[in-house]
Chain A
Amino acid sequence: MVGILKPREAVLPGFRLTLGFTLFYLSCVVLIPLSVLFLQSAALSWQEYWQVIADPRVLAAFRLSFSAALLAGALNIVFGLLVAWVFTRYSFPGKRLLDGLIDLPFALPTAVAGISLTAVYSANGWIGRYAEALGIKIAFAPLGVVVALTFVGLPFVVRTVQPVLLNLEQQVEEAAVTLGATRWQTFWRVIFPQLLPALLTGFALAFARAVGEYGSVVFISGNMPMSTEIVPLLIMTKLEQYDYVGATAIALAMLLVSFAMLLCINLLQWQSSRRSLSG
């Protein structure tokens, strides 16, 4: 095998051309728009920038946006894994159809999702009325934000975990059982380490989507300052007042925090995938 392709001959031709194209494409779609964010907020001095970010309302929104996104990502790890597990390990009538439905949150306009979720979870909705009877307020409360973010994030975990589950070799589990492992040990020591990188990827994707989510949340959250306002809404309120600089300042802060968090998740993922490969 080694002799057939010389090391300098790649499968795709024209490294320079492809690199040029890659850089150009990335610049147009990602790098230039993002650098405009930096440029626009450069109109503020550090002190002004800090004033925009350190406003109690903005801080409260950051707290809600990131904690709700983390919570929603965590929920999706648990339940997304369960859903993926059921779809790969069992067969039942209507499985194909249900499997297709998982992707709907990708396709649905988020405003539609937000309105439907609000209808279901508000005090006179199908689920909301029972929750309210138990004293749990979902719509127009922080919990509603978590519900909306969980909804939009679910497909990410399911779709990243599914292929890994499909590729797991039955023999490994059988070997574990013949060596005397219990069911729990088989899952925890044999299956889970192989799933962890995919779970972390799914978590990162769901988290990133949730942090920036706007459409579905504004309907279910109630948008009350200091309690259920999310960061993207604050950015919209700044834009609505033609305050481009303030809006980009908040957006930039959001970008930096998200980037730092995603970096951490990716590091974790990298470590765990190395461990599962070597171990």
Chain B
Amino acid sequence: MKVLNKSGLSLLIVSLFWTIAGCGANTSGQQQEAAAEPTAQPAVEILNVSYDPTRELYEAVNASFQAYWKQKTGQTVTIKQSHGGSGKQGRAVIDGLEADVVTLALAYDIDAIAEKGLIEQGWQQRLEHNSSPYTSTIVFLVRKGNPKQINDWPDLIKPGVSVITPNPKTSGGARWNHLAAYGYALQKSNGDENQAKEFIRQLYQHVPVLDSGARGATTTFVERGIGDVLLAWENEAFLALKELGPDKFEIVIPSVSILAEPPVAVVDKVVDKRGTREIAEAYLQYLYTDEAQEIAAQHYYRPRSTEVMERYADQFPSLNLFTLDQYFGDWQNAHRVHFADGGLFDQIYQPQG
């Protein structure tokens, strides 16, 4: 009995020590920040938690914003970046990664953060265009010469065609792919849900591999030579083309696709705690300026600014784009119907009785 008491006591003491040490580290960090440059504005650091394919985009944007902010206020700002799968990044923020701003692939992931009270409800109305400063869409990447003659959605379910798309349960990009295909089928059948479901069901029967993420799917298609067509974000398809050589692949633009809106938001709880609200908001608003829009277009994201868009018109062929809320209401709804347990995606893979 005595032994147990002692061990319990030592446990208590050590955990107490940790708590105190943790608090101490925090306060000393804040003191340092405050003491840095008493006269000029102290240098400030913010963290942008984003998803995988935006790494190069934000490297360019951050350098540009740093110069802009220095010129405007004389303050030096450092923007740290964190990249990973969109859902994983969302979870990291919920679990305590101190992001000042989040720039993720799906509003669903930011909704999840908002649900935990870190971001105020209605965040998507705070900035223009659904808080999405740039957009993209879902296109097809096919092998050079387009040997299977894939030009539009119906060609994907022709006999002998195999389609590569990641698993929508683990990949945000794959959810856009899924909704793009479903939206096309809805539009074609004048809103007949049964026909749309049948199209999606047939589509997945043509998918031999469900990678867990978008980059994995690209590798399967490009390096392993599996599949005739890869469903991909437009910016990722451009990047694959640029890096792997246009002599091997080509991009096919379908007649209809979805307007993919990767949204951005300030994490209220974090900026209020760290006192970085002003700069975090300025950072996100900067994404809408012509400079940033130009950078987005150079990284193959469709800019919102019509002026910039006109300059890059050759790069972004126009196609019939529908928005998420046109066919699916909002992300919560889309998720419930399509991707949640027992949803459409699960039904496709249930054993046929």
Q: Which residue of B lies closest to A128 (CB)?
A: B224
Query: Would you call B42 an interface residue if the criterion is a C-beta within 8 Å of the partner chain's C-beta atoms?
Result: no
Do B225 and A27 touch across chains, with their CB atoms under 8 A apart? no
Do B212 and A218 touch across chains, with their CB atoms under 8 A apart? yes
Do B3 and A123 touch across chains, with their CB atoms under 8 A apart? no
Query: Would you call A237 an interface residue if the criterion is a C-beta within 8 Å of the partner chain's C-beta atoms?
Result: yes
Bound: A219/B6 CA distance, A: 49
User: Given A123-B226, A218-B212, are A20 and B3 also a contact pair (CB < 8 Å)?
Assistant: yes
Query: Would you call A9 an interface residue if the criterion is a C-beta within 8 Å of the partner chain's C-beta atoms?
Result: no
Q: Which residue of B lies closest to A52 (CB)?
A: B341
Stretch at the interface among B23-31, B140-148, B181-189, B345-353: B345-353
Query: In the complex, how many angstroms separate the beta carbon of B122 from the nearest chain A beta carbon?
Result: 20
Given A224-B208, A226-B351, 14 extra CB contacts under 8 A? A20-B3, A21-B10, A24-B11, A27-B11, A118-B224, A123-B224, A140-B209, A218-B212, A219-B211, A223-B210, A233-B212, A240-B87, A240-B88, A241-B87
Query: Would you call B340 an interface residue if the criterion is a C-beta within 8 Å of the partner chain's C-beta atoms?
Result: yes
Bound: A97/B169 CA distance, A: 43
Query: Would you call A16 an interface residue if the criterion is a C-beta within 8 Å of the partner chain's C-beta atoms?
Result: yes
Which A residues are CB-close (under 8 A) to B350?
56-57, 226
Query: Would you call B91 an interface residue if the criterion is a C-beta within 8 Å of the partner chain's C-beta atoms?
Result: yes
Query: Would you call B191 an interface residue if the criterion is a C-beta within 8 Å of the partner chain's C-beta atoms?
Result: no
Which A residues are CB-close (under 8 A) to B219?
115
Which A residues are CB-close (under 8 A) to B210?
222-225
Do B7 and A20 touch across chains, with their CB atoms under 8 A apart? yes
Cβ-defined partner of B225 (8 Å) among A19, A57, A124, A239: A124
Query: Would you call B170 an interface residue if the criterion is a C-beta within 8 Å of the partner chain's C-beta atoms?
Result: yes
Query: Would you call B335 an interface residue if the criterion is a C-beta within 8 Å of the partner chain's C-beta atoms?
Result: yes
Query: In the complex, how many angstroms separate the beta carbon of A88 from the nearest chain B beta carbon?
Result: 39
Q: Which residue of B lies closest to A224 (CB)?
A: B210
Which A residues are CB-close (under 8 A) to B225?
123-124
Do A219 and B3 touch across chains, with their CB atoms under 8 A apart? no
0/1 string, B202-216, CB within 8 A of A gives 1: 000000111110001
Bound: A169/B225 CA distance, A: 54
Do A140 and B208 touch across chains, with their CB atoms under 8 A apart? yes
Which B residues are CB-close (under 8 A) to A21?
10
Query: In the complex, how many angstroms separate the beta carbon of B266 from the nearest chain A beta carbon?
Result: 21
Query: Would you call A36 an interface residue if the criterion is a C-beta within 8 Å of the partner chain's C-beta atoms?
Result: no
Cβ-defined partner of B340 (8 Å) among A16, A27, A241: A241
Do B208 and A241 touch across chains, with their CB atoms under 8 A apart? no
Cβ-defined partner of B10 (8 Å) among A20, A242, A243: A20
Do B351 and A222 touch across chains, with their CB atoms under 8 A apart? no
Do A23 and B7 touch across chains, with their CB atoms under 8 A apart? yes
Cβ-defined partner of B7 (8 Å) among A24, A219, A223, A224: A24
Q: Which residue of B lies closest to A27 (CB)?
A: B11
Query: In the complex, how many angstroms separate the beta carbon of B173 from the nearest chain A beta carbon?
Result: 12
Query: In the complex, how many angstroms separate the beta carbon of A133 from the nearest chain B beta carbon?
Result: 15
Bound: A233/B170 CA distance, A: 9
